[in-house]
Structure 1
Amino acid sequence: MEFQIEYWHWVVFGMLLIMAELVVPSFTIFWFGLAALLMAALVWLVPDVSLSVQLLAWAIGSSLFALAWFKLLRPLMVDRTQAGIAREAVLGESGQVILAPQPPRRGQVRFSTPVLGDDEWEFICEEPVVIGDRVLITEISGNTLIVKKR
Protein backbone atom coordinates (compact mmCIF):
# COMPACT_ATOMS: atom_id res chain seq x y z
CA MET A 1 0.00 0.00 0.00
CA GLU A 2 1.52 3.29 -1.11
CA PHE A 3 0.97 6.47 0.88
CA GLN A 4 -0.30 9.42 -1.17
CA ILE A 5 -0.23 12.98 0.17
CA GLU A 6 -3.69 14.51 -0.20
CA TYR A 7 -4.56 18.20 -0.20
CA TRP A 8 -5.99 18.04 3.32
CA HIS A 9 -2.61 16.82 4.64
CA TRP A 10 -1.14 20.12 3.47
CA VAL A 11 -4.07 22.02 5.02
CA VAL A 12 -3.49 20.36 8.41
CA PHE A 13 0.28 20.86 8.15
CA GLY A 14 -0.17 24.52 7.20
CA MET A 15 -2.61 25.19 10.03
CA LEU A 16 -0.27 23.52 12.54
CA LEU A 17 2.60 25.70 11.37
CA ILE A 18 0.47 28.84 11.55
CA MET A 19 -0.70 27.89 15.06
CA ALA A 20 2.92 27.22 16.06
CA GLU A 21 3.53 30.91 15.41
CA LEU A 22 1.48 31.60 18.54
CA VAL A 23 4.08 29.75 20.60
CA VAL A 24 7.17 30.95 18.71
CA PRO A 25 6.58 34.68 18.11
CA SER A 26 9.19 35.18 15.39
CA PHE A 27 6.73 35.64 12.50
CA THR A 28 8.76 33.27 10.32
CA ILE A 29 6.95 29.97 10.81
CA PHE A 30 3.79 31.67 9.55
CA TRP A 31 5.22 31.89 6.02
CA PHE A 32 5.98 28.15 5.96
CA GLY A 33 2.38 27.51 6.97
CA LEU A 34 1.10 29.85 4.29
CA ALA A 35 3.18 28.02 1.68
CA ALA A 36 1.71 24.72 2.91
CA LEU A 37 -1.80 26.11 2.39
CA LEU A 38 -0.75 27.16 -1.10
CA MET A 39 0.45 23.59 -1.68
CA ALA A 40 -2.95 22.34 -0.52
CA ALA A 41 -4.57 24.39 -3.26
CA LEU A 42 -2.07 23.11 -5.82
CA VAL A 43 -2.60 19.46 -4.85
CA TRP A 44 -6.36 19.98 -4.87
CA LEU A 45 -6.18 21.41 -8.40
CA VAL A 46 -3.56 18.93 -9.69
CA PRO A 47 -3.78 15.73 -7.61
CA ASP A 48 -1.11 13.83 -9.64
CA VAL A 49 1.82 15.94 -8.40
CA SER A 50 4.61 13.76 -7.01
CA LEU A 51 5.76 14.12 -3.42
CA SER A 52 9.22 15.37 -4.43
CA VAL A 53 7.68 18.14 -6.58
CA GLN A 54 5.31 19.03 -3.74
CA LEU A 55 8.18 19.31 -1.25
CA LEU A 56 10.29 21.34 -3.67
CA ALA A 57 7.38 23.70 -4.42
CA TRP A 58 6.68 24.05 -0.68
CA ALA A 59 10.34 24.90 0.03
CA ILE A 60 10.43 27.45 -2.79
CA GLY A 61 7.09 28.95 -1.73
CA SER A 62 8.20 29.18 1.91
CA SER A 63 11.44 30.86 0.90
CA LEU A 64 9.69 33.35 -1.38
CA PHE A 65 7.07 34.24 1.26
CA ALA A 66 9.75 34.70 3.95
CA LEU A 67 11.95 36.74 1.60
CA ALA A 68 9.00 38.94 0.61
CA TRP A 69 8.19 39.52 4.28
CA PHE A 70 11.72 40.44 5.38
CA LYS A 71 12.72 42.46 2.31
CA LEU A 72 9.47 44.06 1.13
CA LEU A 73 6.70 44.12 3.73
CA ARG A 74 8.47 44.42 7.08
CA PRO A 75 10.46 47.57 6.20
CA LEU A 76 7.15 49.30 5.35
CA MET A 77 5.85 48.59 8.86
CA VAL A 78 8.53 50.51 10.79
CA ASP A 79 7.04 52.43 13.72
CA ARG A 80 7.73 56.10 13.11
CA THR A 81 5.70 57.44 16.04
CA GLN A 82 8.60 57.42 18.51
CA ALA A 83 6.15 56.11 21.13
CA GLY A 84 8.06 54.58 24.01
CA ILE A 85 11.23 56.45 23.05
CA ALA A 86 13.11 58.22 25.82
CA ARG A 87 12.01 61.82 26.17
CA GLU A 88 15.55 63.01 25.43
CA ALA A 89 15.17 61.59 21.93
CA VAL A 90 12.36 64.04 21.06
CA LEU A 91 14.08 67.17 22.35
CA GLY A 92 14.76 69.43 19.39
CA GLU A 93 11.86 68.10 17.27
CA SER A 94 10.23 70.82 15.22
CA GLY A 95 6.49 71.44 14.92
CA GLN A 96 4.07 74.10 13.71
CA VAL A 97 1.77 76.14 15.95
CA ILE A 98 -1.87 75.43 15.07
CA LEU A 99 -3.44 77.28 18.02
CA ALA A 100 -1.73 80.24 19.67
CA PRO A 101 -1.74 80.29 23.46
CA GLN A 102 -4.25 82.68 25.05
CA PRO A 103 -4.39 82.65 28.87
CA PRO A 104 -5.66 80.54 30.52
CA ARG A 105 -5.60 78.21 27.48
CA ARG A 106 -2.36 76.67 26.26
CA GLY A 107 -1.30 76.60 22.63
CA GLN A 108 -1.38 73.59 20.31
CA VAL A 109 1.51 72.41 18.14
CA ARG A 110 1.36 69.82 15.34
CA PHE A 111 4.26 67.63 14.23
CA SER A 112 4.59 66.06 10.77
CA THR A 113 5.73 62.81 12.42
CA PRO A 114 4.02 61.80 15.67
CA VAL A 115 6.05 62.55 18.79
CA LEU A 116 5.62 60.24 21.77
CA GLY A 117 2.58 58.67 20.13
CA ASP A 118 0.67 61.81 19.12
CA ASP A 119 1.04 64.43 16.41
CA GLU A 120 -0.67 67.28 18.31
CA TRP A 121 0.41 68.54 21.73
CA GLU A 122 -0.38 71.38 24.09
CA PHE A 123 2.59 73.64 24.63
CA ILE A 124 3.96 76.47 26.73
CA CYS A 125 6.30 79.03 25.20
CA GLU A 126 7.90 82.02 26.97
CA GLU A 127 8.06 83.94 23.69
CA PRO A 128 4.91 85.13 21.91
CA VAL A 129 3.96 82.85 19.01
CA VAL A 130 1.25 82.98 16.38
CA ILE A 131 -0.41 80.35 14.22
CA GLY A 132 2.04 79.05 11.63
CA ASP A 133 5.23 79.69 13.66
CA ARG A 134 7.74 76.84 13.88
CA VAL A 135 8.77 75.79 17.40
CA LEU A 136 11.31 73.35 18.86
CA ILE A 137 10.78 71.09 21.87
CA THR A 138 13.10 72.07 24.72
CA GLU A 139 11.46 70.18 27.61
CA ILE A 140 8.51 67.96 28.49
CA SER A 141 6.40 68.73 31.56
CA GLY A 142 3.79 66.04 32.12
CA ASN A 143 1.42 66.18 29.13
CA THR A 144 2.65 69.58 28.00
CA LEU A 145 5.63 70.47 25.86
CA ILE A 146 7.88 73.40 26.66
CA VAL A 147 8.95 74.91 23.35
CA LYS A 148 10.94 77.82 21.98
CA LYS A 149 10.39 79.73 18.79
CA ARG A 150 12.55 78.51 15.92
Structure 2
Amino acid sequence: MIEMFVTLGTWDWLIFGVILMALELLAPGVFLFWLGLAALLVGLIAFVVHPSWQTQILMFAVFVTAAVPLWRRLARTGQAASTDNPFLNRRAEALVGRVFTLEKPIIDGSGTVRIDDTIWRVAGPDTPAGTRVRVVEAKGANLTVAAA
Protein backbone atom coordinates (compact mmCIF):
# COMPACT_ATOMS: atom_id res chain seq x y z
CA MET A 1 0.00 0.00 0.00
CA ILE A 2 2.84 2.38 0.83
CA GLU A 3 4.34 1.72 -2.59
CA MET A 4 1.12 2.94 -4.22
CA PHE A 5 1.38 6.23 -2.32
CA VAL A 6 5.08 6.59 -3.09
CA THR A 7 4.35 6.42 -6.81
CA LEU A 8 1.67 9.13 -6.65
CA GLY A 9 2.34 11.63 -9.37
CA THR A 10 0.81 14.68 -10.95
CA TRP A 11 -1.20 12.72 -13.49
CA ASP A 12 -2.61 10.43 -10.82
CA TRP A 13 -4.11 13.41 -8.99
CA LEU A 14 -5.48 14.95 -12.18
CA ILE A 15 -7.08 11.66 -13.25
CA PHE A 16 -8.45 11.12 -9.74
CA GLY A 17 -9.96 14.62 -9.81
CA VAL A 18 -11.60 14.06 -13.19
CA ILE A 19 -12.99 10.70 -12.05
CA LEU A 20 -14.49 12.26 -8.91
CA MET A 21 -16.09 15.04 -10.94
CA ALA A 22 -17.47 12.48 -13.40
CA LEU A 23 -18.94 10.52 -10.49
CA GLU A 24 -20.61 13.75 -9.40
CA LEU A 25 -22.46 13.79 -12.71
CA LEU A 26 -23.73 10.26 -12.10
CA ALA A 27 -24.71 10.81 -8.46
CA PRO A 28 -25.27 14.55 -7.99
CA GLY A 29 -24.95 15.89 -4.49
CA VAL A 30 -22.16 18.45 -4.99
CA PHE A 31 -19.93 16.67 -2.49
CA LEU A 32 -17.73 14.73 -4.93
CA PHE A 33 -17.21 17.90 -6.96
CA TRP A 34 -15.24 19.47 -4.12
CA LEU A 35 -13.19 16.32 -3.59
CA GLY A 36 -12.40 16.30 -7.32
CA LEU A 37 -11.49 19.98 -7.22
CA ALA A 38 -9.11 19.32 -4.31
CA ALA A 39 -7.47 16.47 -6.26
CA LEU A 40 -7.10 18.72 -9.32
CA LEU A 41 -5.48 21.43 -7.18
CA VAL A 42 -2.99 18.92 -5.77
CA GLY A 43 -2.22 17.75 -9.32
CA LEU A 44 -1.66 21.31 -10.56
CA ILE A 45 0.58 22.16 -7.61
CA ALA A 46 2.50 18.91 -8.15
CA PHE A 47 3.25 20.06 -11.73
CA VAL A 48 5.09 23.10 -10.36
CA VAL A 49 6.54 22.10 -6.98
CA HIS A 50 7.01 18.27 -7.14
CA PRO A 51 6.21 17.62 -3.45
CA SER A 52 6.70 14.27 -1.71
CA TRP A 53 3.81 11.84 -1.58
CA GLN A 54 3.22 12.65 2.09
CA THR A 55 2.91 16.35 1.26
CA GLN A 56 0.55 15.57 -1.61
CA ILE A 57 -1.79 13.60 0.64
CA LEU A 58 -1.58 16.31 3.29
CA MET A 59 -2.43 18.98 0.68
CA PHE A 60 -5.40 16.93 -0.48
CA ALA A 61 -6.65 16.58 3.10
CA VAL A 62 -6.26 20.32 3.72
CA PHE A 63 -8.03 21.26 0.48
CA VAL A 64 -10.92 18.90 1.19
CA THR A 65 -11.20 20.13 4.77
CA ALA A 66 -11.35 23.72 3.51
CA ALA A 67 -13.64 23.04 0.53
CA VAL A 68 -16.52 21.36 2.35
CA PRO A 69 -17.21 24.21 4.83
CA LEU A 70 -16.71 26.70 2.00
CA TRP A 71 -19.36 24.89 -0.05
CA ARG A 72 -21.78 24.84 2.88
CA ARG A 73 -21.35 28.58 3.34
CA LEU A 74 -21.88 29.23 -0.39
CA ALA A 75 -24.96 27.00 -0.47
CA ARG A 76 -26.47 28.75 2.55
CA THR A 77 -26.01 32.25 1.09
CA GLY A 78 -27.50 31.11 -2.23
CA GLN A 79 -30.68 29.96 -0.49
CA ALA A 80 -31.01 33.16 1.48
CA ALA A 81 -31.19 35.28 -1.67
CA SER A 82 -34.30 37.39 -1.74
CA THR A 83 -36.99 36.62 -4.25
CA ASP A 84 -39.54 38.79 -5.96
CA ASN A 85 -42.26 36.51 -4.53
CA PRO A 86 -41.60 35.80 -0.84
CA PHE A 87 -44.77 33.65 -0.54
CA LEU A 88 -43.81 31.31 -3.36
CA ASN A 89 -44.94 27.80 -2.33
CA ARG A 90 -46.59 29.33 0.76
CA ARG A 91 -49.83 30.52 -0.78
CA ALA A 92 -51.93 30.28 2.38
CA GLU A 93 -49.55 32.56 4.29
CA ALA A 94 -49.97 35.21 1.60
CA LEU A 95 -53.70 35.33 2.40
CA VAL A 96 -53.26 36.42 6.02
CA GLY A 97 -54.67 39.91 6.50
CA ARG A 98 -56.79 39.86 3.34
CA VAL A 99 -60.59 40.22 3.40
CA PHE A 100 -62.94 37.85 1.57
CA THR A 101 -66.66 37.09 1.39
CA LEU A 102 -67.94 33.82 2.88
CA GLU A 103 -69.35 31.49 0.25
CA LYS A 104 -70.91 29.08 2.75
CA PRO A 105 -71.76 30.10 6.32
CA ILE A 106 -69.52 29.18 9.19
CA ILE A 107 -71.54 26.68 11.20
CA ASP A 108 -70.03 24.94 14.22
CA GLY A 109 -66.72 26.66 13.45
CA SER A 110 -66.38 25.52 9.81
CA GLY A 111 -67.27 27.15 6.49
CA THR A 112 -65.82 28.00 3.07
CA VAL A 113 -64.64 31.04 1.17
CA ARG A 114 -63.85 31.35 -2.55
CA ILE A 115 -60.46 32.90 -3.28
CA ASP A 116 -59.81 33.32 -6.99
CA ASP A 117 -60.52 29.86 -8.43
CA THR A 118 -60.12 27.91 -5.20
CA ILE A 119 -62.50 27.13 -2.37
CA TRP A 120 -60.77 27.27 1.02
CA ARG A 121 -61.97 25.83 4.30
CA VAL A 122 -62.21 28.44 6.99
CA ALA A 123 -62.61 28.20 10.74
CA GLY A 124 -63.99 30.84 13.03
CA PRO A 125 -67.06 31.97 14.92
CA ASP A 126 -70.48 31.14 13.42
CA THR A 127 -71.11 33.68 10.64
CA PRO A 128 -73.76 33.80 7.85
CA ALA A 129 -72.85 33.43 4.16
CA GLY A 130 -72.04 36.69 2.35
CA THR A 131 -70.30 38.19 5.39
CA ARG A 132 -66.89 39.82 4.86
CA VAL A 133 -64.19 38.07 6.91
CA ARG A 134 -60.48 38.73 7.41
CA VAL A 135 -57.95 35.87 7.36
CA VAL A 136 -56.05 35.97 10.66
CA GLU A 137 -54.11 32.69 10.49
CA ALA A 138 -53.13 30.04 7.94
CA LYS A 139 -52.27 26.43 8.84
CA GLY A 140 -51.74 24.28 5.79
CA ALA A 141 -54.92 24.52 3.71
CA ASN A 142 -57.04 25.73 6.62
CA LEU A 143 -57.64 29.42 7.24
CA THR A 144 -58.81 30.98 10.46
CA VAL A 145 -61.00 34.03 9.97
CA ALA A 146 -62.58 36.80 12.02
CA ALA A 147 -65.25 39.36 11.17
CA ALA A 148 -63.81 42.13 9.00
TM, length-normalised to structure 2:
0.55
When the two chains are superposed, the root-mean-square deviation of aligned CA atoms in Å is 3.1
Please state how far the C-alpha of 1:24 moved relative to its aligned partner: 2.1
The total of aligned residue pairs comes to 99
Alignment match, 2:71 = 69
Change (3 A) 1:43 1:90: same
CA distance in 1, matches of 2:97, 2:45: 52
- TM-score normalised by structure 1 residue count: 0.54
Deviation at 1:12, TM superposition (A): 0.7
Q: 1:44 to 1:90 in 2, by over 3 A?
A: same
Which of these two proteins has the greater Rg computed from alpha carbons?
2
Q: How has the CA–CA distance of structure 1 residues 89 and 32 changed in structure 2, closer, same or farther, with 3 Å as cutoff?
A: same
Alignment partners' CA distance in 2, 1:140 and 1:61: 54
Structure 1: segments with no counterpart, 5+ residues:
95-124, 127-137, 143-147
What aligned pairs does 1:117-136 form with structure 2 within 5 A after superposition? none
Query: Aligned pair 1:25/2:28, yes or no?
Result: yes
Letter in structure 2 aligned against 1:36:
A
Q: After TM superposition, which residue ranges in structure 1, 4 or more long, deviate above 3 angstroms?
A: 79-84, 138-142
Identity rate, percent: 26
The answer to whether 1:55 aligns with 2:54 is no
Greater helix share, 1 or 2? 2
| Unaligned segments of structure 2, at least 5 residues | 102-113, 119-133, 135-148
